[in-house]
Amino acid sequence: MRSFQSYIDGAFTDGEARFESLDPATGAPWAEMPEAREGDVDRAVRAADRALWEGEWPRLTPSARGKLLYRLADLVAENAQVLAELETRDTGKIIRETSAQIAYVADYYRYYAGLADKIEGAVLPIDKPDMEVWTRREPVGVVAAIVPWNSQLFLAAVKLGPALAAGCTLVVKASEDGPAPLLEFARLVHEAGFPPGVVNILTGFGPACGSALTRHPLVAHVAFTGGPETARHIVRGSAENLASTSLELGGKSPFLVFADADLESAANAQVAAIFAATGQSCVAGSRLLVERAAKERMLALLSEKAERVAIGAPLDRATEVGPLCTRRQREHIQGLVDRSLQAGATLVTGGQVPEGAGWFYPPTILDCDGAASPSLAEEFFGPVLSVVSFDSEAEAIRLANDTAFGLAAGIFTTSLTRAHRVSRAIRSGVVWINTYRAVSPIAPFGGFKRSGHGREGGLAAALDYTRTKTVWLRTSDDPIPDPFVMR
């Protein structure tokens, strides 16, 4: 069995306990992980706080911080295949996806490396003639970065990159489900030469790790990607330390297809939107809203593509859909599919747990026209697509916005004017037109409504990890008069 360690204050440690990680393709244990508890968390946060104020890190120029990030980016690129294989082994995400995604992660660190010495203050045109006033942006403090198991190296990069560029220090908590690649990534942080305590990486469960971290009195900001219920615990806990938060909480993203669209292209994008990563993606296009005139053709295209998807071992490059990460996730998906069918949805394809080892689930399509299906409201986080038709643009917009979430949306149409109208009307943080799942370090990413707040990517993300200090300088050489002497 492989064995992994936490990374605290520049050293690798086994932590207070250990637990086994299971291979999603077989259900069997394959590695031992360090289980961080309150003592480990406290040590990590205190190390991050010391590194913020003492030693080498606060004395580095922004350009020097950028050079460390460039070095980290190079190491990620050099070790991308090793990291990809670990992520595939520990989470079940297929090797084709992990390889491509981790290779791109290096670009996020390069982007924020270049941004590190471009976070500027300003001189204010103050209304007092004998005063010079300027602002400077300083690191917000110790950041608790909570990262889920899916796309974890990417989701860590969009937090680590801007936070380190801004001069913060971090304690990163990897999910207890599939933490291997992020724990291995700690070795690259160490090799890059970041001072001890600047980046700390651990994993653990519930109150003993996650809650202890987000409630810690020395944590100034919590950056979280995950589910809404956990986010509510974090927000309630932030009342203890008054930490600011940035929350990316998933969604129930609409995928709108109008009858004038290139349906073959739309179908390919829809397959990628819902079946890539076995549907375990925060932006999964899980609600297909298709104009009634195009519905029959779209369903035929999608069912044919879904039924010939290659399901298999995630380390096999021929595999197109791998297993779900955990058994409980598969049980949740099957239960939601069953409830949706009972509520009147029609099964187009899939919908049954296959025989054999591992936590596999087939690409599934539900026709929900005329049904009050729970699949239209609840997030599966799996390879299940719910289909509804519409008759007008106004109805399409109403259906798209009929959700508590607001992370992403897709629009497929050849009408430029419609694309503009509909993209303005949809209440989500990201809208893709005639494409889907495109990301870039340059572009902000985040949601509306119950999909959270704050942005990851772009300059805005780096500024979120700073606070503004205002400095006043009196420029007059005249003595300040005694305020208690009447003149």
Point out the residues that are catalytic.
Answer: 248
Nearest-angstrom CA–CA distance, 36 and 172: 12
Q: Give the separation between CA 40 and CA 47, rounded to whole angstroms.
A: 11
Q: Where are the alpha helices (DSSP H) in 54-139?
A: 62-78, 80-91, 95-115
> By C-alpha distance, which of 64, 3, 8 is closest to 36?
8
Residue type, 380: F
Q: At what angle do helices 292-307 and 263-275 cross, to 10 degrees?
A: 50
CB contact at 8 A, 289 and 399 = yes
DSSP symbols for 320-373: SB---S-HHHHHHHHHHHHHHHHTT-EEEE--SPPSSSS-----EEEE-TT---
Residue 280 to residues 150, 285, 443: CA-CA distances in angstroms? 7, 11, 22
3-class state of residue 169 by DSSP: strand
Q: Give the DSSP letter of residue 194.
A: P
Q: Which two tokens stand for residue 17?
A: 């306990």
CA distances from 113 to 62, 66, 139, 166 (A): 9, 4, 15, 10
As a whole number of angstroms, the distance between CA 121 and CA 481 comes to 32
Residue of 82, 332, 317 lying closest to 188 (CA atoms): 82
